[in-house]
Structure 1
């Protein structure tokens, strides 16, 4: 059996803010026994450090801006290069712009890793409602910041999702349903891929 035959699938969750990416990433990872790489959690860890980078990330976040692609790409590449081929992984928050989408495709292709992007499709109205309810931090309670993040999604992440779709790597999931219903749809589509 070649190395390619034993490589595990990689899954990337994308979608608007508050679409359930983190919840569904954790649930899928538990079901498959895969590792989880969460860009947002990694950024929060850096912010908590109070370092120069952490303070810059915090400032950009509070303004509703995405991090520069090179920061996210570096963290993603480091994780992928150190992931044994016999282990699968779930990525939450990676692929947020076309540059990151191309890096994901290029690195995964170069490493011979099969991957699928799972797009949790949620309307802007639902995002605003969920963000105001969850209030993870003070910026989640500010509708103007939420709207800035939605504008950034439309400007950066939507074209990345369109790129993944154009190369046949993206599957849409109805993220408007309950977390259990979303998970059931994720599992149905993932099981079909892994069959």
Structure 2
């Protein structure tokens, strides 16, 4: 397994329900990489007493998606604060092609040179089934079948071009997400060795 010097930036990509967040956290812990989960980053910025923090808090509290300019400002701020010697795992970004292009360019300017993408693939039907089950277990009132299907459609529309881009620009590794968590973890570890 890499020590973070030659494998310093990993993007986790996959549909909702694929387990990418679980796998990203496990790998970040194992490698002592910084775990960049966009929702967590935004919540942390929203707590800051700054113009950007107040703007992000207002948008989060109102349920409005963060605008592209504000998102870029948050990304630049946080990337600038990360130790360049520490590896980073991105979970939840990039979701759109422009985000992928921006991130690759910006990270290269920050001195990062080695990029890996772990694509956790999962059939659409299985993703939907997992999300519906999770919605029942967690009693999420806003996770109706229609809303989950809409989010999955958005994923396929917005994120698949990101996958094609990252295939060309990074060491791209596809992992079968339609298996037990432990087997997915094992496959990831084998692929990175």
State the Cα RMSD in Å: 2.5
Residue matched to 1:165: 167
Conservation of the 8 A alpha-carbon contact between 2:23 and 2:185 = yes
- Greater shift after overlay, 70-79 or 34-43? 70-79
Superposition map of 1:117-128 within 5 A: 117-128=117-128
Structure 2 stretches lacking a partner, 5+ long: 48-53
Question: Deviation string for 1:72-130 (max 9, x for gaps)?
Answer: 43333222211112211111101100011101110122122122111110111111111
SS at match of 1:116: strand
SS at match of 1:166: helix
SS at match of 1:189: helix
Structure 2 length normalisation: TM-score? 0.81
> Is residue 2:119 matched to residue 1:88?
no
Conservation of the 8 A alpha-carbon contact between 2:5 and 2:87 = no
Superposition map of 1:15-164 within 5 A: 15-43=14-42, 51-56=57-62, 58-59=63-64, 67-113=66-112, 114-135=114-135, 136=138, 137-140=140-143, 142-164=144-166
When residues 72 and 177 of structure 1 are mapped into structure 2, their CA distance, relative to the original with a 3 A threshold, is: farther
In the TM superposition, structure 1's runs of 4+ consecutive aligned residues that sit over 4 Å from their partners are 5-8, 43-47
- The aligned length equals 178
When residues 125 and 105 of structure 1 are mapped into structure 2, their CA distance, relative to the original with a 3 A threshold, is: same
SS at match of 1:138: coil
Conservation of the 8 A alpha-carbon contact between 1:12 and 1:90 = yes
Conservation of the 8 A alpha-carbon contact between 1:8 and 1:88 = yes
When residues 159 and 180 of structure 1 are mapped into structure 2, their CA distance, relative to the original with a 3 A threshold, is: same
Structure 1 length normalisation: TM-score? 0.80
SS at match of 1:145: helix
